[in-house]
Structure 1
Amino acid sequence: MRIGRLIGAVVVSLVVGASPAVAAQEPAVGAKAAYVVDSAGTVHLGKRETKRLPVASLVKVMTAYVVLQEGRMSDTVTIGATDVRYAARGGAATAGLRAGERLTTRDLLYALMLPSGADAANALARHYGPGKTAFIAKMNRAARALGLSDTRYTNADGMPTPANGGYSTAADQVKLARLALESSVFATVVGSTSHKVGKTKVHRAHTWRNTNKLLTRADDVLGVKTGYTNAARYCLLFAGERNGLQVVGVLLGDQDERRFSTAEKLLDYAGEQVAFG
Structure 2
Amino acid sequence: MGCVTRQRTPRCGGRVRRVMRSGAFSSWARTLAVGLVATSAFLAPAPGVAETAPIPRVPAGVTAAGAILIDQADGSVLMGRAIYTERPMASTTKIMTAVVVLETPGLDLDARIPVKSVYHRYAVWKDASTAHLHTGDSLTVRQLLYGLLLPSGSDAAYALADRFGHGSTRTARTAEFISRMNAKAAELGLSRTQFGSFDGLAPTSTNHITPRSLARLASYALGNEQFAAIVRTRTTSVPGWTASGGRRIYTWENTNQLLGRYWGVIGVKTGTTTPAGACLVFAITRGGRTLVGVVLHSASGDARYRDARLILDAAR
User: Does TM-score exceed 0.5, indicating one fold?
Assistant: yes
The match for 2:222 among 181, 189, 197 is: 181
Query: What's the CA shift for 1:244?
Result: 1.9
Give the aligned residue type for 2:218. Answer: A
Structure 1 vs Structure 2: percent identity of aligned residues?
Answer: 39
CA distance, structure 2, for counterparts of residue 127 and residue 187 of structure 1: 22
Give the aligned residue type for 1:34. Answer: A
The match for 1:144 among 186, 195, 211 is: 186
Provide the TM-score with structure 1 as the length reference: 0.85
Query: What's the CA shift for 1:187?
Result: 0.4
Query: What's the CA shift for 1:99?
Result: 1.5
Please give the secondary structure, in 1, of the residue aligned with 2:216.
helix
Query: What's the CA shift for 1:265?
Result: 2.6
When the two structures are aligned, how many residues end up with a matched partner? 246
Q: Is the 8 A contact 1:242 1:268 kept in 2?
A: no
Please give the secondary structure, in 2, of the residue aligned with 1:198.
strand
CA distance, structure 2, for counterparts of residue 184 and residue 123 of structure 1: 22
Provide the TM-score with structure 2 as the length reference: 0.75
- The equivalent of 2:289 in structure 1 is 245
- The equivalent of 1:68 in structure 2 is 102
Q: Is the 8 A contact 1:103 1:202 kept in 2?
A: no
Please give the secondary structure, in 2, of the residue aligned with 1:213.
coil
- The equivalent of 1:13 in structure 2 is none
CA distance, structure 1, for counterparts of residue 279 and residue 269 of structure 2: 8
1:268 paired with 2:309, answer no
CA distance, structure 2, for counterparts of residue 45 and residue 193 of structure 1: 28
Q: Is the 8 A contact 1:227 1:236 kept in 2?
A: yes
Q: Is the 8 A contact 1:77 1:102 kept in 2?
A: yes
1:28 paired with 2:73, answer no
Evaluate the alpha carbon distance shift between residue 218 and residue 59 of structure 1 in structure 2; reply closer, same or farther with a 3 A threshold.
same
Per-residue CA deviations over 1:197-224 (Å, capped at 9, x if unaligned) read 1354365210000000000210011100
Residues 1-277 of structure 1: pairs in structure 2 closer than 5 A? 26-41=59-74, 42-70=76-104, 71-130=107-166, 131-161=173-203, 164-198=205-239, 200=241, 201=245, 204-254=248-298, 255-270=300-315, 272=316
Q: Is the 8 A contact 1:79 1:98 kept in 2?
A: yes
CA distance, structure 2, for counterparts of residue 174 and residue 93 of structure 1: 23
Please give the secondary structure, in 2, of the residue aligned with 1:224.
strand
Give the aligned residue type for 2:183. Answer: R
CA distance, structure 1, for counterparts of residue 87 and residue 120 of structure 2: 27
Unaligned runs of 5+ in 2: 1-57, 167-172
Across the aligned residues of Structure 1 and Structure 2, the Cα RMSD in angstroms comes to: 1.5
Please give the secondary structure, in 2, of the residue aligned with 1:150.
coil
CA distance, structure 2, for counterparts of residue 142 and residue 133 of structure 1: 14
Q: Give 1 or 2: higher helix fraction.
A: 1
Q: Is the 8 A contact 2:139 2:240 kept in 1?
A: no
Evaluate the alpha carbon distance shift between residue 33 and residue 164 of structure 1 in structure 2; reply closer, same or farther with a 3 A threshold.
closer
